[in-house]
Copies of this chain bind each other. A is one copy, B any other.
């Protein structure tokens, strides 16, 4: 069995946001055993799995990525859409554009402290679209 749906997230500000609930809710009834692939259809935002409890983790992630991928790096030439343009592409490839998560007992089988993050790398909030594909 394979099922695929597409969802649009609400506009989220630059930074890291926990979106596990949007995804779990959109899927509805899940199989006993399966795998969920979540793919983001954009190149200046990413997806990752990390700590879902302390909001300071989300802030520290944003600070760290700004630290290793600062704006106005001297060698960057792709800046048509502003100084946040190329750094956003780089950050997207560092975290990745999809996550795959086991399904067990009709639930996303994440670790106790794991949540799914939307990583928005552009200054201007965007509507981001995700493709959710479930195998069972």
- Copies of this chain in the oligomer: 3
We find that the number of chain A residues with CB closer than 8 angstroms to chain B is 60
Mark contacts of A94-109 with chain B using CB atoms, 8 A cut-off: 1 yes-contact digit, 0 otherwise: 1111111110100001
* Distance, CA A31 to CA B131, complexed state (A): 16
Contacts of A27 in B (CB 8 A): none
Please determine whether B77 and A60 come into contact, CB atoms closer than 8 angstroms. Answer: yes
Please determine whether A133 and B78 come into contact, CB atoms closer than 8 angstroms. Answer: no
Contacts of A35 in B (CB 8 A): 2, 37, 133, 135
* Distance, CA A43 to CA B110, complexed state (A): 10
**Candidates B34, B40, B49, B131; contact of A97 at CB < 8 Å:** B49
Distance in angstroms from A97 CB to nearest chain B CB is: 5
